[in-house]
Structure 1
Amino acid sequence: MTVGGPGGAVAAGHPLTANAAAEVLRAGGNAFDAALAAMCAATVAEPVLASFGGGGFLLARPAGQAARLFDFFAQTPMRGPEPHGRDFHSVVADFGAAQQEFHIGLGSMAVPGAVDGLFHVHRALGRMPLERLVEPALAVARDGYELTPFQGYLFDVVGQIYMAGEEARHIFARPGASDRLIGAGDRFRNPDAADFLDALVREGRDLFYMGEVAHRVAEDCRAGGGTLTERDLAAYRTEERQPLSVDFAGARILTNPPPSTGGLLIAFALKVLEGAGGLGGPWGAPSHLTALARALDLTDGARRDAGPDHLVRLLAPETVAAYRGALALHPQVRRGTTHISVIDGDANACALTLSNGEGSGYVVPGTGVMMNNMLGEEDINPHGFDSWPPGVRLGSMMAPTAVLARDRLHVLGSGGSNRIRTAILQVILNLVAFAMPAEAAVAAPRIHVERGHLDIEPGWPREARDAVTAEFSDFRAWPERNLFFGGVHTAVRGAADFEAAGDPRRAGAAAVLDA
């Protein structure tokens, strides 16, 4: 964590991503300029986690104005799935202590929104020219950088995807060894991505959605078993929404609203926990950890039981009351995403979460851009990979969030597939219910409960760990902190100072700027 003066604060998933934002703030850009510069840099500095072939959400809180949520997440094609002849196959990501199945191929690609989101947010809130904002990303893509041990581990986890096609191997194989994936210590460059980004800024968003890139994607899908068409890409538009607002323990929480589910489930869990007991004692007490695990389990069950059309009813007082009662009576037996948080000296605040899923394995030739596999992710297709309705915005667990508590403004978010909502929830509880500083709130051990199974990180007091594992007998104790539990990056503005904390689980980076 860094703490400092009145200039601003940045937290992100890689030092080069954070540096891009800090550079723009120093040059006179606002928080939204900085976040967009970091977004562009992340597509090169965090290639497994961010891509212009994916999408995301940006929660903006301009100083003195109402907050706005920009939804530029992926959208389903206008025609429904065609199981026969579809290029759609499974791969297994190995986290060490756990595995997770994903699906890739041309048939896993949804319509990406990141490019449109870049231009839309810049028009709405940007101060500096877009040409200036992409300069850090261009330098990183052309000059290259040394991959960190965390990035080497991440490539090991999803390596099958990044060696799946000729274009992907051209970018992600070791120089002179086309059958070996790059790894920690290797120098990574993506000059194709630099050329694409340079052309994009000069020619505009239509290069991607109506021009040469769109035509190539549609042509390859027709020939290879994908579903995207020129019409799908041309129709894409970023949507603006009013953030979901919920009060908890004297704090105001602003987060991603429906149709995405992550913010809604975070809000629901907070309301179930509020007043239910268990959070009145110290952090790490048995009552704290068991109440948290029960709430995560109930929230997971509510998500599955309610169905997509009824999730919005979860915050109804009678629903919260019923689940709060169930919390007390709980039986005693029993991917790729990144985030950027920025606050500037004028109190503009921004939380931006990006995802490319795990990547589809398909790189648009000549662009250096890996396309997403959103139609192959279970957490956003919980009712089956062949049941998505055509031409609709996909929901997501991504939940860029702002917390206003005790005269401090926090902006935060996380990557981590199904674990996004549980990671953000636990950091909010640490900040609000237990008044932790940002670094401690982010670094504290976490749990995750899904389908009655408990995953628990080390670091919890023994008494609390024994109590929760007695209640959740189906559990996995992880030997160390792991990116499986998300990567929460937060920036904080107080009355006279800033804080920023990057999650050590994902080698997060933070910077605080003096005025």
Structure 2
Amino acid sequence: MKADRHPVAAACGHPLTTQAAHDVLCAGGSAVDACIAAALMACVVEPVLAGPMGGGFMMLCPAQGSARVLDGFVQTPRRRIPAEVHSIEADFGDTRQIFHIGPGTIATPGLIPMLFEAHARAGRMSMPDLAQPAVTAARAGHVVTTFQAEVARITSPILSHIPATAQRFGMAKGPLQAGDHLCTPDLADALEVLAIEGARLFTEGEVAQALLSLDGIALTGEDLRRYAPRWREPLHMSRHGWDVALTPSPSIGGTQIALMLDAMPQEVTPALLHRAQAELLDLRAQSSDPLTFDPALVAQLRRTLAGHAARQRGTTHISVTDRGGMGAALTLSNGTGAGVIVPGTGIMPNNMLGEEDLLPGGPESWAPDVRLASAMCPMCLRAPDGSITMMGSGGSSRIRTALSQTALHLIAGQPLEDAVMAPRLHLDIANGPVMAEPGDECWTDALHDLPADVTIWPERSMYFGGVHAVRSTRGGVTAVADPRRDGVALT
């Protein structure tokens, strides 16, 4: 290896997703190229967590220079029309969650325009070359993993909502099983043509028209044509000499993570994590607008946590680093999917207008023609020694807790793998029940002392997110993929 070349690394949520990214990096592709190849592959082999008609955020961090964020999240329709919405309940085992699906929950997709914008800015390889691994996997078929079968079980009311959806996801004759061979030739054709014709296929072309043909959809052709990804300056904060770049407004995930990182004292305990999360949720509930990274809010959190200390009582993610030292982190989501299939494409579009994490007021509460706020937050962390860590997580509302806790452990000096694997706790309501993972005796005793109802899960779970991270230092690279979401890392 040449002295001016950096080692490459990729951490993603599926073996084929990681392999697609790693192969591109080894062939000399950029970090953006690797993210594109991995994202398209994820749409094939992680089809509930990622979809071509979803949205996402990409964080780019050069070896030298400033990080940038590309916002490719979904947009609400420009006008309201009668739309079709259904409710289903997903079973996570230890908890259940309501989701809204149907054509009326489909927001304007942003993922494909975002990938092509990123490619125009920092891509090196051709789009047909980047799409080919995903096209091949979709056409030839892939073996369903145990994790993907479990995701299918949880979301089976969505994946079997109508016969066309059940057929697409291999559930026409019964539940999807680990080891099943899943082929999606329509998706292969759509991705192959996309790579040749460009994003226009999804914004004005045949795929766009097929989407608009769905009965009960709220979107119009104008929504698709006028969508544009946006470059944004990251939200920056510092903790113990580390510079942390996060997604800015309208993302809510970056602000919440920044507030927690800035307010937390050095010690990270279940009691402090619980109180910090409760205070953030309470602040958000009291505010009619998204929270801002405001010194007054940080000070308020610090006072609360200091007083408390004295008392002592979804989505998928891709992280890569290329031979030029650039890191990229891409978080993408299809919601849980709208439960319908765009004719002739094999694509289940997003259900973002039905996600309660995004619209707590329900599927009719969206304002027209606005970017939806998202919990997704790809991150870039620069340590005082110059090392760079790219990371992110899937997991809906658990993204903020997974990433903030991982970052706190990493900044406190833990190795990357230990920081990712540390047990997590999460709460959705300020004064509500706490969900927690098992840990050592000290962790368990501290959980039992919390002033809340605590459920300790029997083992680590996908419910608590999946942090996939790569770290580049002068001595080399480290890649860690979270086993909670079947992650695979390659260096």
> TM-score if structure 1 supplies the norm length?
0.91
Q: 2:438 is matched by which residue type in structure 1?
A: P
Q: 1:266 is matched by which residue type in structure 2?
A: I
Counterpart in 2 of 1:155?
Answer: 152
- How far, CA to CA, are the matches of 1:438 and 1:300 in structure 2? 28
- How far, CA to CA, are the matches of 1:504 and 1:277 in structure 2? 27
Q: Does 1:225 align with 2:207?
A: no
Q: 1:244 is matched by which residue type in structure 2?
A: L
Could you give the per-residue CA deviations for residues 218-270 of structure 1, whole angstroms, max 9, x where no partner exists? Answer: 222xxx22211111111111111001110011100001100010011000011
- How far, CA to CA, are the matches of 2:388 and 2:335 in structure 1? 29
- How far, CA to CA, are the matches of 2:244 and 2:134 in structure 1? 32
Q: 1:114 is matched by which residue type in structure 2?
A: L
- How far, CA to CA, are the matches of 2:114 and 2:71 in structure 1? 8
Q: 1:449 is matched by which residue type in structure 2?
A: L
Q: 1:269 is matched by which residue type in structure 2?
A: M
Counterpart in 1 of 2:166?
Answer: 169
Q: Is the 8 A contact 2:317 2:330 kept in 1?
A: yes
Q: Does 1:212 align with 2:206?
A: yes
Q: Is the 8 A contact 2:11 2:469 kept in 1?
A: yes
Counterpart in 2 of 1:94?
Answer: 91
Q: How does 1:242-261 map to 2 (within 5 A)?
A: 242-261=233-252
Q: How does 1:228-377 map to 2 (within 5 A)?
A: 228-273=219-264, 276=265, 278-279=267-268, 288-309=269-290, 311-312=291-292, 315-330=293-308, 335=314, 337-377=315-355
- How far, CA to CA, are the matches of 2:458 and 2:166 in structure 1? 33
The 3-state SS of whatever aligns with 1:180 is coil
Provide the aligned length of Structure 1 versus Structure 2: 483
**Which is further off, 209-218 or 187-196?**
209-218
Q: How does 1:332-481 map to 2 (within 5 A)?
A: 335=314, 337-405=315-383, 406-433=385-412, 435-451=413-429, 452=431, 453-459=433-439, 461-481=440-460
Q: Using a 3 Å threshold, how does the CA distance of structure 1 residues 380 and 502 change in structure 2: closer, same or farther? A: same
Could you give the per-residue CA deviations for residues 338-369 of structure 1, whole angstroms, max 9, x where no partner exists? Answer: 00000112111100000000000111111111
Could you give the per-residue CA deviations for residues 154-205 of structure 1, whole angstroms, max 9, x where no partner exists? Answer: 100001111112321221125xxx2413221101111111100111112221
Question: Displacement, 1:81?
Answer: 6.1
Q: 1:102 is matched by which residue type in structure 2?
A: F
Unaligned runs of 5+ in 1: 280-287
Counterpart in 2 of 1:36?
Answer: 36
> TM-score if structure 2 supplies the norm length?
0.95
Question: Displacement, 1:302?
Answer: 1.6
Question: Displacement, 1:74?
Answer: 0.6
- How far, CA to CA, are the matches of 2:282 and 2:177 in structure 1? 39
Give the share of equivalent positions with the same residue, in percent: 43
Moved over 6 A (4+): 331-334
The 3-state SS of whatever aligns with 1:131 is helix
Match 1:186 to one of 164, 180, 190: 180
Question: Displacement, 1:51?
Answer: 0.5
The 3-state SS of whatever aligns with 1:323 is helix
Question: Displacement, 1:378?
Answer: 0.7
Question: Displacement, 1:290?
Answer: 1.3
Could you give the per-residue CA deviations for residues 3-28 of structure 1, whole angstroms, max 9, x where no partner exists? Answer: xx942110000010000011111111
**Which is further off, 395-404 or 293-302?**
293-302
Q: Is the 8 A contact 1:58 1:69 kept in 2?
A: yes
Question: Displacement, 1:392?
Answer: 0.8
Counterpart in 2 of 1:283?
Answer: none
**Which is further off, 55-64 or 260-269?**
55-64
Could you give the per-residue CA deviations for residues 256-292 of structure 1, whole angstroms, max 9, x where no partner exists? Answer: 100010011000011110xx3534xxxxxxxx22112
Question: Displacement, 1:415?
Answer: 0.3
Unaligned runs of 5+ in 2: none
Counterpart in 1 of 2:464?
Answer: 485
- How far, CA to CA, are the matches of 1:334 and 1:65 in structure 2? 44
Counterpart in 2 of 1:509?
Answer: 488
Q: Is the 8 A contact 1:13 1:508 kept in 2?
A: yes
Counterpart in 2 of 1:285?
Answer: none
Q: Is the 8 A contact 1:293 1:468 kept in 2?
A: no
Could you give the per-residue CA deviations for residues 470-512 of structure 1, whole angstroms, max 9, x where no partner exists? Answer: 2233121101100000000001101121000110101100000
- How far, CA to CA, are the matches of 1:22 and 1:232 in structure 2? 35
- How far, CA to CA, are the matches of 2:232 and 2:75 in structure 1? 16
- How far, CA to CA, are the matches of 2:249 and 2:286 in structure 1? 17
- How far, CA to CA, are the matches of 1:89 and 1:55 in structure 2? 21
Could you give the per-residue CA deviations for residues 22-80 of structure 1, whole angstroms, max 9, x where no partner exists? Answer: 11111111111111111111100111110001010000113333211001111000113
Q: Is the 8 A contact 1:53 1:372 kept in 2?
A: yes
Counterpart in 2 of 1:284?
Answer: none
- How far, CA to CA, are the matches of 1:455 and 1:401 in structure 2? 24
- How far, CA to CA, are the matches of 1:454 and 1:472 in structure 2? 10
Q: How does 1:50-199 map to 2 (within 5 A)?
A: 50-80=50-80, 82=82, 86-174=83-171, 178-199=172-193
- How far, CA to CA, are the matches of 1:135 and 1:472 in structure 2? 53
Q: Using a 3 Å threshold, how does the CA distance of structure 1 residues 334 and 494 change in structure 2: closer, same or farther? A: closer
Question: Displacement, 1:465?
Answer: 2.6
Q: Is the 8 A contact 1:80 1:388 kept in 2?
A: no
Could you give the per-residue CA deviations for residues 295-342 of structure 1, whole angstroms, max 9, x where no partner exists? Answer: 111112122222325x12xx222221122111233497993x000000
- How far, CA to CA, are the matches of 1:492 and 1:99 in structure 2? 35
Q: 1:52 is matched by which residue type in structure 2?
A: P
- How far, CA to CA, are the matches of 1:120 and 1:70 in structure 2? 9
- How far, CA to CA, are the matches of 1:473 and 1:257 in structure 2? 32
Q: Is the 8 A contact 2:6 2:323 kept in 1?
A: yes
Q: Is the 8 A contact 2:85 2:104 kept in 1?
A: yes
- How far, CA to CA, are the matches of 1:173 and 1:87 in structure 2? 25
The 3-state SS of whatever aligns with 2:56 is strand
